[in-house]
Structure 1
Amino acid sequence: MSSGAEFEAPSVQSMLGEAIRAFQGGGGGGGGGSAADLRSHRIAVNRASVEGDVWCRRGFLGQLFLPVLGAQTVAEVVRESREAAGKLEVLGMASNVAVELDQADSGGVNVRLLCERAKRYRLRTGVDVGNDEGMASVAGRMSNIWGGGETAEATFSRGSKTQSSFLGTLTAPVGTDPLTQVELRAAQAVLNARPYSAHDEVSRSLSAAYRAVKLAGWQHQLRYLAEWREICNLGAAASPTLRAEAGHTLKSSVEYTFTYDDRDSTTVPTSGTLAKATAEVAGLFGGDVRFAKARAELQTNQRLGASEWIVATGAQGGLLWNLDGPRGRSSLADRFFLGGLTTVRGFEYRGIGPRDRNDSIGGDVFYAVGASLLTPLPYVTTDALKGHLWANAGQLALLDDRGLLRTPRDSSGGRTRGLADEIRRFFMQPSVAVGVGLVYRQSIVRVELSCGLPLVAATTDRPKAGLQFGLGVQFL
């Protein structure tokens, strides 16, 4: 890895020192235009190397140093060397990487990355939180498996709703870019759906994904998923709908997800926007379920002037369209569910939408909107705890003869309700709740204590007036 170009300068080491100091200082200082001249001075990189207790395979180093060896000015050498050092740290291959430039015998410059050994093995235990669920977990992680920034991780969890869960992932950068990765994943989970539905759900899946972050806040992901699901362990009081859903289904799907997120916090943001859209098609490569599914989410956060008052608005929506013909019905494992502190507050978890007896059976189309006002509290000096005024609304329905596409009937002699009337009712008569509460921002989780008052509820809904306590990451 060398360059044959020559460098003509009376003192390479002196010039490099001045140029690097000027580059680090952003071109300011008393040097005036000379700093810019030094940064733009042409130079050749003879050799680039990594030194320290670091394992990097030769092919990876060749790609890592290609931009460094191709640099033609001092500014380019410094910039590309810093970027190479940053990649080693982000990929977990080294820590405390320092860049050293010195004069080469041939008149050019040598680049050395001085590294300290990074931890390759990690084991942690802890309590993780998801939407409406707390989980205890143990996880093991191994970094830089084959000398190219690969990472393997295995996690076993038990939670309040998830009886047991295993997740194993293997990720590797594409080339040397830590912002572009491929991932292989194997997972198994046993979900206890009680008390909102008298069954358990077991899922086992294998997936492969390509993920790329193109610009700050923008992310694209393409995933292929093969998943074996089972609805099992029905309770004695299970509804006819649930009994008809029991058994095994196999899903083979392709999913694309686009995300834009420039919020200053993922838990209690004070500014920024989150936009996320997912499209999934199942049945193209086998499996016994065929559907097209789309989901979108938008969240905005804005501070009111220079005050500590924050206005947050959110909207979510989704559509699941069965591709097995007009008589086909979607699978319970693929449907949307709505209700709970992280979606529509003031209702039980999965407490909005179609129900057969005591079983929540989900829906094929939904929407949810919300508005929140976060306020400072008197006598509270920390900004991690705020008051919370909120209003939420949402609706969930099936797209078959039990829902919006039901066959019009008129047994009373009145006007028949058609599809247009059903759609109008769906959008104009959502379930609504308002309330007040407290929001606490912890480093990785948002904690809410809310007192809600349901204002509008359908006969199949399960409103929940009074106090609700929840932990989560993503809230409406």
Structure 2
Amino acid sequence: MSSSETQTPRATAQPSIEELLSTKLSITSFRVDGAQRTKASLLQRVLQPVLSTGGHFEGVISDVSQAVDRLAATNCFKGVDAFIDHDKHNPSAATVDFTVSEKSGVQLTTGTSIDSTCERDASLEGSLSLRNVCGVADTLRFTLAWMGGASASRSFSENPSNAFSASYKRPFVLGLDSAVFANGSFSQLNHTEASSYNLISRSVDSGIECPWGTFTLASSWRNLSDVLPTASQVIREDAKHSWKTSISHAVAVDSRDDAKMPSQGVFASLRHEHTLPFGDARYSSVEGSVQTHVPLVSHAVLSLCARGGVQVASKRAMIADRFFVGGGNSLRGFESRGIGPRDGKDAIGGDVFYTACAMLSVALPRQSLLWQLFRARVHAFINAGDVGEMSQLVESVGGVRVRGRGAREAADAVGRVMKEGARVAGGVGVALDTSVGRVEINLCQTVRRCGTDAARVGVQFGVSQSFL
């Protein structure tokens, strides 16, 4: 072909994906449609940090994706969509339009909860939540809880334990991962079967949640009431009004794939509390827990968990503040408050405790009805625990030190005391994932107990919001 011939022009080359992602682009403005109750000031605080930086198109996509996640984290919206639109007059600028759909302002829920003491008592509760009350993703919640009394054998009609609480929580105070809260509660706990008294408590607390944990300032007015005529001397001495004011800090890490039916991951928590001079209680306490879940072959999981706590006080703490162990959520195979020191027939708790559990669980066949309805798992377990007086450990260690032995001998002495006092139980059962929480139905057999312990041989139930 002659060079003088006219050549056909080539089509304009389209930019590659790499070139498109590297195109300079910055977000100049954003708009949120559909936020009727949510204040613009909150949206500005949530979105501005991730949409105010310039860069390339790839970075803008990442920023918008992060912005969508931050909007979802407010728990105000049930749907969030985003659209990036180029500025017609400035090719390197873009605007972002968010379309949101707000959640209902009222929510009714039912479920279970576990108290923060080492007893791990479970309660059935119903709550009314008012969401986004002030337009800042805040929540006002009213909760009514029912508990079956002093033991699993007590019916709900026989003077059951109950509690009422009102709480307010406002997130994003210091950042996306922070919140302030305030709570007020009234509770009446029936401990007549195990300890011959009822505990009436009126409490208020407030605090802040942040990446470093939860910090709480609390105050409560307690009264040991309805003391039985057969109550022991220790119970009678504490049968009075008392005031407790304390500060506490709690922190937890959780990598479990599921809180109720975990198959892998680790959970660890630590909580310490110090009472203040304003009140009758005088002590410091530390509680911790750790659990790990290891997947094995054929959908089998090995779960190992341990909990423990210690309380330091200049004199014996009041019974309302002491540790108690026993029950389906605390130590399987024993009744609520079933182990530990007693005065007569009354459980009076201790100032140091521990529990440990090993469980091997296997998922039921996926074709089975129990799996399809409740993700049921069968398991075998063995657990051990004890609750007692710190003075016993101090006496054992002190005796070793007096004889001039070292730290290793002292540790052996502590281990010997723990081994001698350990209560052990094992069994088999099934765990169900239900709408009210994790439900365990276990067949228990006590392996080791002391003469005054209240063992639970046979069927035992446990209900909780997470694996315990």
Specify if TM > 0.5: yes
Deviation at 1:179, TM superposition (A): 3.0
Match of 2:19 among 37, 41, 58: 37
Flag structure 2 segments of 5+ consecutive residues without an equivalent: 1-13, 115-119, 150-159, 397-409
Quote the Cα distance in structure 1 between the aligned partners of 2:130 and 2:70.
17
Deviation at 1:118, TM superposition (A): 2.5
Match of 1:356 among 323, 343, 354: 343
Quote the Cα distance in structure 2 between the aligned partners of 1:308 and 1:187.
42
Q: What's 1:415 paired with? A: none
2:320 is the alignment partner of 1:333: yes
Q: What's 1:235 paired with? A: 228
CA contact (8 A) 1:64 1:176 kept: no
2:240 is the alignment partner of 1:247: yes
Quote the Cα distance in structure 2 between the aligned partners of 1:118 and 1:341.
37
Q: Are residues 475 and 239 of structure 1, via their aligned partners in 2, closer, same or farther at CA, if it must alter by over 3 Å? A: farther
Q: Deviations over 1:379-420 (max 9, x none)?
A: 9735422322111111110235xx55689xxxxxxxxxxx99
Quote the Cα distance in structure 1 between the aligned partners of 2:61 and 2:342.
63
Moved more, 357-366 or 49-58: 49-58
Q: What's 1:185 paired with? A: 183
Counterpart residue type for residue 193 of structure 1: H
Quote the Cα distance in structure 1 between the aligned partners of 2:61 and 2:340.
59
Quote the Cα distance in structure 2 between the aligned partners of 1:446 and 1:102.
47
Quote the Cα distance in structure 2 between the aligned partners of 1:106 and 1:240.
86
Q: Are residues 456 and 65 of structure 1, via their aligned partners in 2, closer, same or farther at CA, if it must alter by over 3 Å? A: closer
Deviation at 1:153, TM superposition (A): 1.1
Quote the Cα distance in structure 2 between the aligned partners of 1:239 and 1:380.
55
Q: Deviations over 1:70-97 (max 9, x none)?
A: 2332233333233333333332333322
Quote the Cα distance in structure 2 between the aligned partners of 1:392 and 1:289.
32
Q: What's 2:201 paired with? A: 203
Q: What's 1:457 paired with? A: 449
Deviation at 1:194, TM superposition (A): 2.6
Deviation at 1:229, TM superposition (A): 1.7
Quote the Cα distance in structure 2 between the aligned partners of 1:197 and 1:211.
35
CA contact (8 A) 1:63 1:175 kept: no
Q: Are residues 118 and 433 of structure 1, via their aligned partners in 2, closer, same or farther at CA, if it must alter by over 3 Å? A: closer
Q: Are residues 45 and 166 of structure 1, via their aligned partners in 2, closer, same or farther at CA, if it must alter by over 3 Å? A: same
For these two proteins, the number of residue pairs brought into alignment is: 420
Q: Are residues 475 and 193 of structure 1, via their aligned partners in 2, closer, same or farther at CA, if it must alter by over 3 Å? A: farther
Quote the Cα distance in structure 1 between the aligned partners of 2:174 and 2:343.
53
Match of 2:332 among 345, 352, 376: 345
Q: What's 1:266 paired with? A: 259
CA contact (8 A) 2:80 2:101 kept: yes
Q: What's 1:109 paired with? A: 94
Task: Indicate the SS of the match to 1:439.
Answer: strand
Flag structure 1 segments of 5+ consecutive residues without an equivalent: 1-30, 214-218, 408-418
Counterpart residue type for residue 439 of structure 2: V
2:389 is the alignment partner of 1:391: no
Task: Indicate the SS of the match to 1:196.
Answer: helix
Moved more, 174-183 or 46-55: 174-183
**1:40-51 matches, cutoff 5 A:** 40-51=22-33
Counterpart residue type for residue 183 of structure 1: F
Q: What's 1:128 paired with? A: 112
Q: What's 2:82 paired with? A: 99
Quote the Cα distance in structure 2 between the aligned partners of 1:44 and 1:420.
63
Q: What's 1:374 paired with? A: 361
Q: Are residues 78 and 54 of structure 1, via their aligned partners in 2, closer, same or farther at CA, if it must alter by over 3 Å? A: farther
Counterpart residue type for residue 363 of structure 1: G
Moved more, 140-149 or 356-365: 140-149
2:141 is the alignment partner of 1:149: no
Q: TM-score, normalised by structure 2?
A: 0.82
Q: Are residues 445 and 58 of structure 1, via their aligned partners in 2, closer, same or farther at CA, if it must alter by over 3 Å? A: closer
Quote the Cα distance in structure 2 between the aligned partners of 1:269 and 1:88.
28
Quote the Cα distance in structure 2 between the aligned partners of 1:474 and 1:80.
34
Task: Indicate the SS of the match to 1:195.
Answer: helix
Q: Deviations over 1:237-276 (max 9, x none)?
A: 1111101111122222111112111111212211111111
Task: Indicate the SS of the match to 1:460.
Answer: coil
Deviation at 1:293, TM superposition (A): 0.4
Q: Are residues 320 and 192 of structure 1, via their aligned partners in 2, closer, same or farther at CA, if it must alter by over 3 Å? A: same
Q: Deviations over 1:430-456 (max 9, x none)?
A: 111122222223355222222222122
Q: Deviations over 1:75-133 (max 9, x none)?
A: 33333233333333332333322112223354122211112232112234x35354553
Deviation at 1:176, TM superposition (A): 8.1
